[in-house]
Amino acid sequence: MKFIEKIKDINHNLSLRALAVLYRNFLAWLKIYKPSIIGDVLEPLLFLAALGLGVGKFIHNIDGISYIEFIVPGIIASSSMYAAAFESTFGSYTRMVTYRTFEAILLTPVTVEEIVLGEIFWGTSKAFMSGIAVLIVGLVFGWIISPLALFIPVFILLNGAIFSSLSLLITSFSPSYDFFSYYFTIAISTMFLFSGVFYPVSSLPHILSYFVFVMPLYYSVHVMRLLDLGILSPAIFYYFIILSFISIILFYLTAFFIRKRVIK
């Protein structure tokens, strides 16, 4: 029951004031948006070009579509994961520890929970920018297959929210920037390589395929690919529910642990 009380406390401390935190981050970003766009937008496009066009030359088709068409939804999902993960680790840590921005905000009526929500909104926004850029390039070059792909942005937002929350949760435990190496190598890179971005997970050895199912990125890649292929399956709805549920759980965990970290 203590658990329910904690959730009530967190809800009690939430309001739209979180948007002020989002706006603060946006304003700060406007001053450095050029280098930021290189990382969040140009980098996934490099992957898409190098693998899609380069490696794709040797793979004539995969599940009946060209290789670049196959990887577009995967790159949308993975680029939004990376954008959220970078922002909510290095970015949030800088605001929490190095610049003490969280502390400055806490001297006002804004609560820890609102800061957490604002930070997640911001990480999700960065993810959205990154994922949408890949989607637009895919549309422009004709690598998008079905008009159902227009629903992909909904899942970019969900994927962004999940990875932003998860990354901020990691940040709440992090003693230094170096600590993020563990997270990026063990969690993020692993998901990038094994979630079906570059090949169907069914081609992995059977034993590995079990690990795939605990990776949130797998679900995002899978659902984005279904939409891209125009397969209207009930799985899309289930994934929407599962991914929403994961992001909500992660938000509460993160709010709890960030409060523990900043209020002594």
Applying CB under 8 A, which of residues 14, 20, 148, 154 lies at the interface with another protein? 20
Closest by CA to 90, choosing from 192, 208, 174, 189, is: 174
Beta carbon of residue 23, minimum distance to another protein (angstroms, whole number) = 7
Interacting span for another protein (CB under 8 A) from 49-57, 61-69, 96-104, 137-145: 96-104
Q: Give the CA diameter of the chain.
A: 59
Q: Looking at beta carbons only, is 105 or 258 nearer to another protein?
A: 105
Q: Are 223 and 153 in contact (CB under 8 A)?
A: no
Cβ burial 158-182 (10 Å sphere, 16+ → b, else e): bbbbbbbbbbbbbbbebeeeeebee
Considering only 2, 34, 206, 264, the residue that binds another protein (CB under 8 A) is 264
Say which amino acid occupies 226: L
We find the least distance from the C-beta atom of residue 104 to another protein, in angstroms, to be 4
Nearer of residues 242 and 262 to another protein, judged by Cβ: 262
Q: Which stretch binds another protein (CB under 8 A): 1-9, 27-35, 37-45, 248-256?
A: 27-35
Instruction: Show the 3-state SS of 48-66.
Output: HHHHHHHHHHCCCCECCEC
**CB 255: neighbour CB atoms within 10 A?**
29
The window from 23-31, 139-147, 169-177, 190-198 that contacts another protein (CB under 8 A) reads: 23-31
Question: Which of residues 79, 80, 88, 101 is near another protein by CB under 8 A?
Answer: 101
Of 107, 140, 207, 241, the residue at the interface with another protein (CB under 8 A) is 107
Q: Indicate whether 214 belongs to the interface with another protein (CB under 8 A).
A: no
Structure token pair of residue 77: 């999902």
Tell me which residue of 80, 35, 86, 50 sits closest to 224, measured CA to CA: 80
Q: Is 175 in the site for another protein (CB under 8 A)?
A: no
> Shortest distance, CB of residue 21 to another protein, whole angstroms?
8
CB nearer another protein, residue 24 or residue 225: 24
Q: What is the DSSP letter of 149?
A: G
Nearest-angstrom CA–CA distance, 54 and 201? 21
**At its nearest, how many Å lie between another protein and the CB of residue 202?**
46
- Find the binder of another protein among 14, 37, 45, 106 (CB under 8 A): 106
To another protein, the closest distance from the beta carbon of 24 in angstroms equals 5
Alpha carbon separation from 22 to 100, 121, 126, 156 (Å, rounded): 16, 6, 11, 18
Told to check if 108 binds another protein by CB under 8 A, we report yes
